[in-house]
Amino acid sequence: MPDVPSIGELPMNPARYEFSLFADYFQFYLQDDSPGVGTENPWTEQATNDMLAVAHGYVIVGTARNMTVPVALEVYDSDPGYIPEEWDHVTECSMEVRSGKIVVAGCTDYFPDATRIQVGPGPYAIRVLYGDLDKLSWSGLEGEDHYLVMMWPGRPTPPRVVKRRPPSSKGRGP
């Protein structure tokens, strides 16, 4: 299991990590590395529509394709803000990180080999930005969809959609 160095202080520039994750079953995971996390199924009809499922110690991000997708994770020391017009869909939630490590993985990845990112223990605010969700091939196998996860120390908050993408005939999702 590869460990990524700790984030340290991030006044302006985030610690940025880039991944190509196999989004099998249209999803990828951010998860606390503590034992016993990830045993519940948080997918509901609402979570599917929101493209975000949250349970104790982990967040599952829904994707437009059931293929390998580009994902970036940026860790900040405070809310960095964002420009809503640059994104198709935006969700927010929180996650408790007890272990001080976050696992980033595709749904069917072998978790012992997944990347771990060291962060301080505690609650984190998470914002997921979804881009180019309608730029998919007719088959839905190829596309320009991409995902940015921003996180920073924050209070526990329920999941919510900040910006909902309009309904589409391409891909999966709302």
Minimal CA–CA distance to 134: which of 96, 105, 167?
167
pLDDT at residue 39, rounded to an integer: 74
The identity of residue 95, as a single letter, is M
Q: Are 166 and 59 in contact (CB under 8 A)?
A: no
pLDDT along the chain (174 residues), means of 10: 45 83 96 85 93 96 96 96 96 97 95 94 98 93 96 96 79 47
Q: pLDDT tens for residues 99-110? A: 999 999 999 999
Is CATH 2.60.34.30 correct for 3-163? yes
